[in-house]
Structure 1
């Protein structure tokens, strides 16, 4: 192996491993920035300012709504601010567009959320979380575009087919849901640049990635014990793309890292608790990295797969307490 550059911290420690893209105060969603801003390129929960039904100071009337997915309305309403739907209630039947963020909290009445049926566009982030009764999302059947999409902490939510009109998203975060497969969305959907899948205990199929066009610059797949096949991820990690942040963690069914074979220059790579992985050779193409975190892979006995690495900017963290006895390369 060629000598790595100076300034590298080689860590064998008991402390929690750093994850590329995360800081100590970052989100718990695995590489997902903890920002609260609106619009494409941000993730995390927004901080909406409008609660309850829209008022005349917050809306703009456009053309009539002929009941696209919900009830017919005399005029479409565009809400120009952020919106939070909570216990305060409201009626959003005529709203077709939200220019800010839209958040549906766990205490929102499902009958109020159902009045979003004519909504087509959200410029900011759509967050739906902690809704204990949602098994599907029929209220978003008309939704065509959203800045970022966050669905969180609804383990009974198994059906995302109602999002079949969604053709454009920014970052996509699916966390602690009951889905078994990554949704395909609309036929025209081309993918996202940032994908965060965490704590989806039934997720076993990410083949929808095969229909995407955009490369992935950030991807976290964490705590999905049923997921074994990462091959659909490979085409989204093109050799022509550099600076990615990738975290694969707590995936006991995964046995191969072949999906990472096109990587060359990564900002960060975290491979943690992948007990079925025995071979790091798919990483041989990586020549430069910001972070490398390798842990919880007892079947890996050599680091020869990292032989192409010539530059490491920050931390190389390998193994748990006391290092990794018996490793070579």
Structure 2
């Protein structure tokens, strides 16, 4: 149990911070080797089913546009998950999968092309590690899916074939060769989860401005080496209105601005290792945060831009778990927190130039307070800060020998 504030000994008060969660891999069944002109067979450890190739193991009214795949006398639906892995399967007249679709590294281009009439996948579509795939033309008919995950294909730079997509609330693009996000159908129903990770050539998020939002947003933009702007996120954020947003911006060496985040009203934020970020001005509309973590932002000198922020559950400036790599090296005070009134746990760590706790004049309620490894702060700074609080918080202040590192795990 947390104890009263201790300025001489370590405290066991702690906080755990969450940010976003990524898309989980699709669960799959294995498609056995088949002749391209025969009916593929499946094995499923949960609910074995068979798949149609035009003979009709399920009637459907989900008729594809004429411009999609090869002509068929009839279309069929497959009940259950499908995995393509080089077995030579033919799905030329299947337009509906009631399950997940997984296209693996060994799937042939002929197998993928046979999906040309597929419109509707009730589960997730995952394509992983297929280095022969130059574009997604074999999936050009897709209109409604639960999730799309494309991963481990640095040669894949062309996502134009997704232009008919109208429902795909969960998107994950990882280790691709794309320079820009794809445009979807004009009636696209919005995104709920977006993960962009390790796309070294990605520079343009503007297509997202027209996507809209489909419920509370989870956005994780991580390790995209050339990305300098996130302005395209303004569209989904505005469409989300006052809904909560979970936003992580991590390891973005060229990101210079937070322009695009102006619609944020309440959010969980995790900003870390953004070496060129100089200000927080686009966050001026933010009113509340569940969990806010700012760490390794060496060009940030103040918290101006957070003047409307009133309440935060867990507010962490710096990070005590990564040694010299953590902290806000040039933050001098709390200036900019003009409206902040209440914080559940306020944590400061490894901020080399933090010499004052002034700058949050309305702050009166702090449940827990941790300050570790902030060498420029002295006892009188803490005393002045605690005087403005309604009650003494639990926690610990001091150096590394006196206070334990508070656990922070933003996800």
TM range (shorter): 0.7 to 0.9
Structure showing greater radius of gyration is: 2
Cα RMSD, aligned residues only: 2.7
Supply the distance in 2 between the matched residues of 1:137 and 1:250 (Cα, whole angstroms): 29
In structure 2, the residue matched to 1:138 is: 137
Residues 258-305 of structure 1: per-residue CA shift (max 9 Å, x gap): 322332221x21111111111123334333222111122111122344
Q: What displacement does 1:209 show? A: 1.8
Residues 47-81 of structure 1: per-residue CA shift (max 9 Å, x gap): 11252425774552437989753333332110010
Q: Is 1:323 paired with 2:320?
A: no
Report the 3-state secondary structure (helix = DSSP H, G, I; strand = E; otherwise coil) of the residue aligned with 2:279: coil
Supply the distance in 2 between the matched residues of 1:65 and 1:168 (Cα, whole angstroms): 15
Supply the distance in 2 between the matched residues of 1:81 and 1:174 (Cα, whole angstroms): 24
Residues 124-145 of structure 1: per-residue CA shift (max 9 Å, x gap): 1000110011110110011111
Worse overlay, 99-108 or 84-93? 84-93
Residues 151-203 of structure 1: per-residue CA shift (max 9 Å, x gap): 11101001011112212212111111101110002233243122111111111
Report if aligned partners of 1:140, 1:163 keep a CA contact under 8 Å in 2: yes
Worse overlay, 43-52 or 105-114? 43-52
1:325 and 1:119, CA in 2 relative to 1: closer, same or farther beyond 3 A? same
Report if aligned partners of 1:54, 1:79 keep a CA contact under 8 Å in 2: no
1:44 and 1:280, CA in 2 relative to 1: closer, same or farther beyond 3 A? same
Q: Which has the higher contact order (CA 8 A, sep 6+)?
A: 1
The aligned runs of 1:1-329 (5 Å cut-off) are 20-21=19-20, 31-32=21-22, 43-52=23-32, 53-54=40-41, 57-59=50-52, 60-62=57-59, 69-214=68-213, 217-238=217-238, 240-266=241-267, 268-314=268-314, 316-319=316-319, 320=326, 323-327=350-354, 329=359
Supply the distance in 1 between the matched residues of 2:65 and 2:136 (Cα, whole angstroms): 21
Worse overlay, 275-284 or 117-126? 275-284
TM-score of the superposed pair, with normalisation by structure 1? 0.81
Give the unaligned 5+ runs of structure 1. Answer: 1-5, 8-16, 22-30, 33-42
1:292 and 1:65, CA in 2 relative to 1: closer, same or farther beyond 3 A? closer
Report the 3-state secondary structure (helix = DSSP H, G, I; strand = E; otherwise coil) of the residue aligned with 1:193: strand
Q: What displacement does 1:311 show? A: 2.5
Worse overlay, 284-293 or 121-130? 284-293
TM-score of the superposed pair, with normalisation by structure 2? 0.66
Q: What displacement does 1:82 show? A: 0.9
Number of equivalenced pairs: 295
Give the unaligned 5+ runs of structure 2. Answer: 6-15, 33-39, 43-48, 320-325, 328-348, 360-411
Report if aligned partners of 2:190, 2:236 keep a CA contact under 8 Å in 1: no
Residues 286-327 of structure 1: per-residue CA shift (max 9 Å, x gap): 332221111221111223444443332245252516611224
Report if aligned partners of 1:54, 1:92 keep a CA contact under 8 Å in 2: no
